[in-house]
Amino acid sequence: MSGGGRRVLVLNGPNLGRLGKREPSVYGTGTHADLAALCVKAGSELGLDVEVKQTEYEGELVTWIHQACDDRTPVVLNAGALTHYSYALLDAVKMRTAPLVEVHISNIAAREGFRHDSVITPAATGIIAGFGFGGYVLALQAIASSPAAPAAPDAPAGPDAR
């Protein structure tokens, strides 16, 4: 983190630590370290104090979201495969107290059928997909332009409530 700006967490889920090695034709050749550096740099330019984390574990990701909710910290979230089935993650995101932007490097709607649906989207502020690493920059721009302490969302009761 650079210090001084509004704190933002960039949280990445399973397999995103393997960027650069995992399906370069889909995710590109940039590494997670490259992504983290881009997010910190873009955040700094926007007056944000960006911290980037990655985990392979659902529970750890849920814990980070809980802490962000408690601290009213905005989040950029790429939950990886958890996007499509983690109701625990949905429940955590529904408690958000600041903007949360769901990000996907690839266009999930143009991929395998199971990737088309996100259980997280109904509780997120918005979603950005298909712009590669640039999607994270777009998400940080959206957060930078949002109010510092928005009211808690009125999230739908579940994924079928869309």
Say whether 27 is catalytic.
Answer: yes
The dihedral built from the CA positions of residue 37, 16, 141 and 51, taken in this order, carries a sign that is negative
- Write down the catalytic residue from 32, 57, 85, 104: 104
Which residues on neighbouring strands pair with residue 51, listed in sequence order? 9
**Closest by alpha carbon to 89, among 114, 117, 48, 118?**
118
CB 74 within 8 A of CB 148: no
Q: How far is CA 88 from CA 33, 62, 81, 113, in A?
A: 27, 7, 13, 22
Of 27, 32, 66, 136, catalytic: 27
Sign of CA dihedral 42, 150, 152, 72: positive
- Measure the CA–CA gap between 154 and 94, rounded to whole angstroms: 8
**C-alpha angle 82/83/88, rounded to 5°?**
65
Catalytic site includes residue 66: no
Catalytic center residues: 27, 104
